[in-house]
Amino acid sequence: MDLKQIPPLHTLRVQRIRATINRAHIFVHSLILLALLYYRASWLFFFLTSHSHSWTLTLTWFLLLTSELSLSFIWLLGSAYRWRPVSRAAFPERLSDDHQLPVIDVFICTADPEKEPPLHVVNTVLSAMALDYPAEKLWVYLSDDGGAAITLYAMREAFSFAKVWLPFCRKYGVRTTCPNAYFSEEDGQIRSAEFLNEREKMKSMYEAFKEQVEKAEEMGLIGDNLNKKAKQDAASLIEVIGQKGLEDHDKMPHLVYVRREKRPTHPHNFKAGALNVLLRVSGLLSNGSYILVLDCDMYSNDPTSAKAAMCFHLDPTLSPTLAFVQFSQIFHNISPNDIYGCQLRDVFKIWWYGCDGLNGPILSGSGFYMKREALYGIAPGMDLPKDLIQSRQWFGSSNELLKTLRPDYKCNAENGVQSNGLLQEAHFLASCNYETGTKWGKQVGFFYDSVVEDIMTGIRLHCRGWNSVYYNPPRPQFLGSAPINLNDVLVQYKRWSSGLLEIAFSRYSPLPYGIMSGHSILHTMCLSYSASMPFYCVFGLCYATVPQLCLLNGISLYPKVSDPWFAIFLAVFISGSCQHLFEVLHTGGSFRMWWNEQRIWMVKSISANFFGCLDIATRMIGVKRVDFGLTNKVIEKDQVDRYSNEEFDFQGASLILVPVVTSSMLNMVALNGGVWRVIAEGNYSELMVQLSLTLFIIICSYPIIEGIVIRKDAARVPPLITFLSIICTMVLLSLGFIVLAM
């Protein structure tokens, strides 16, 4: 296929009006911040040179100046996202010949059948198998770190169901190819009586398949050859499912189950380790040029995504340096106003458009088509090591794997499926000792330096010279499920914060690493902002405690209302709030969603980010290792009801809530004490900013206060959390009175 003679496979449009508005706001907001910092620094200099003020007041102003300077720097890094937003369109119908398309390997990972039910996992598998792509060029791999017999059984049954499900989807042009999602809603198109009859038959078959998977254990359908649940001491298992006996006209995508070897004495490196095993095993069996990575709960919602991604990967003007095509992550279970901020609106509707106008978005964990070559540790245009010794130092001792790295290598997929010798070699590649002494996880594959392996891998790919593309068509290509319980949300964000801080404190910290790599300044700022977000907790906690303790002691930290400098602080608040509100409304949100995002940002900053920092601090002194906590995908009906009613759900809340509950209590005490002091002393003008800040934090914290004081159901804040928060509040108040009285 001569790609130069066909119409463009994709187009790019710069959002010029958006870019102009963004740049104007960046300029104005920067001037306001400079004025604010000048005010704070000049007063601090006055305190330092004057001997008439106490050291505690000087320290307080120093803390505020440090916080405001740091927050301004982080804001400046984030402004790069808004410098040049672009949007793209792809035309998969212009790909002329299916026979010329490259092989695609799909990687799906699961780790715990209790938190990630096998039925949900195989629904994602079925949706991937139903991609609009030549069946002989599509391989679907499931990595099962849970190692449960029920998961393998569900995979075998899923392949049997796929024999009828895939032809049904192809015949009637079904776009929602996840069976559970398809049968949970009505088909919106006008269809024939034949279709309606076939649909009912298919629904009955799915219900039978569903029941068989859900009741497999009690029906005694699971064999004794596998453990019920994975142990940390388990051998590898690789099975190519169901290809034997298929005729040519029944061609199906290949389905491969992979359980890697795990031993207590060997680190397994979480999801990154599982992906690297799949990368090696798939290189041996299918060696797809491109890899689609999906979370086990993020199913394909549009079968055209594979060909849409190929519109970018097969463009000769982009392909030499294009590492991956990132699709948007959309969640099907988000409440109308997104009370927990789980849709990641700023990431997928603002930031990645801006990144795409520079060097491309950062890798986002799921829903991306990656070029295999980009994961092999080389920069664009460079050759892999040809020396055998060096190749083994990079990729390990498997000669069969090393053969797949040659440019002239031709993979015979059918021979690979039927070869016992090749499957034995695949088991060797999935062993826990294989990576010892190699560059896997360090320079080759997905990187092990952080539990957010996607961000780390994306940063290092970009700094090597690879680019990426963000594609967000009108119809969501992939749909996932978001946590709907506050504790699950905060635990997820704590893991992300820990991982981002691992990056920030590593040798690959984006700002110095990007600059030293010769990466573009604006894109380096984008990468650096992502790694800097957890630091919001330090300055958030400062703003949630220091002004409040000073308010109780009658110490003013801000200009009087009558002082012209008061307008600067007011302008900073209005400028930032208006920009956020404009972006929310422009991306289809509402005023209520804007307020919810303000509120949950404060909650996450003070709680999840704080514990993320604590995790890293304890790791740095050798106390513990950052853990990869799975998000629970099992949803209870009462949780769904509370989430639908947009009520905060504190059920199962852990110690992660203590900082935000403590902050709420402290601010309530400070507001009452501050109002009493203003009434008694009449110094309202001096303390207005601190009163307003305290009141704003209390309003943001209302769901927390409601969970403590008002609610009596099972989803209220647990008494232990309340008790510990009361103790923390009393300690802070005591320290505040003692220190500020000096």
Q: Which residues are catalytic?
A: 145, 454
DSSP-derived letter for residue 14 is E
In contact, 326 and 366? CB cutoff 8 Å: no
Residue 338: which region, alpha, beta or left (left: phi > 0; alpha: psi -120 to 50)? left
Beta bridge partners of 291: 105, 370
CA distance linking residue 32 with residue 573, whole number of Å: 10
Beta bridge partners of 241: 255
CA distance linking residue 653 with residue 84, whole number of Å: 41
C-alpha distances in Å from residue 689, one per residue of 337, 532, 548: 29, 27, 11
In contact, 104 and 565? CB cutoff 8 Å: no
One DSSP character per residue, 41-73 reads: HHHHHHHHH-SSS-HHHHHHHHHHHHHHHHHHH
Classify the C-alpha dihedral 714-716-721-726 as positive or negative: negative
CA distance linking residue 468 with residue 355, whole number of Å: 9
CA distance linking residue 732 with residue 740, whole number of Å: 12
How far does CA 253 lie from the centroid of its chain? 28
CA distance linking residue 432 with residue 413, whole number of Å: 25
If one counts every other C-beta atom within 10 angstroms of the C-beta of residue 422, the result is: 15
Token pair for residue 670?
Answer: 């400070």
Per residue in 476-503, is it b (16+ CB within 10 Å) or e — as a string? bbbbbbbbbbbbbbbbbbbbbbbbbbbb
CA distance linking residue 149 with residue 225, whole number of Å: 8
- Alpha helix ranges (H) inside 286-398: 305-313, 345-346, 352-356, 388-395
C-alpha distances in Å from residue 35, one per residue of 31, 80, 97, 562, 701: 6, 21, 61, 17, 30
Collapsed DSSP state (helix, strand, coil) of residue 493? helix
Q: Which residues contact 502 (CB under 8 A, 6 or more apart)?
A: 449, 450, 451, 452, 456, 616, 626
Token pair for residue 557?
Answer: 């930290």
How far does CA 225 lie from the centroid of its chain? 36
**Amino acid of residue 706:** E
Token pair for residue 315?
Answer: 């463009």
Q: CA nearest 351: which of 187, 193, 529, 210? A: 529
C-alpha distances in Å from residue 580, one per residue of 425, 583, 593, 738, 739: 54, 5, 11, 39, 37
Q: CA nearest 298: which of 530, 107, 495, 105? A: 107
CA distance linking residue 11 with residue 88, whole number of Å: 6
In contact, 1 and 97? CB cutoff 8 Å: yes
CA distance linking residue 107 with residue 113, whole number of Å: 17
Collapsed DSSP state (helix, strand, coil) of residue 714? coil
CA distance linking residue 17 with residue 538, whole number of Å: 35
What backbone torsions phi and psi does residue 682 show, to the nearest 5 degrees?
70, 25
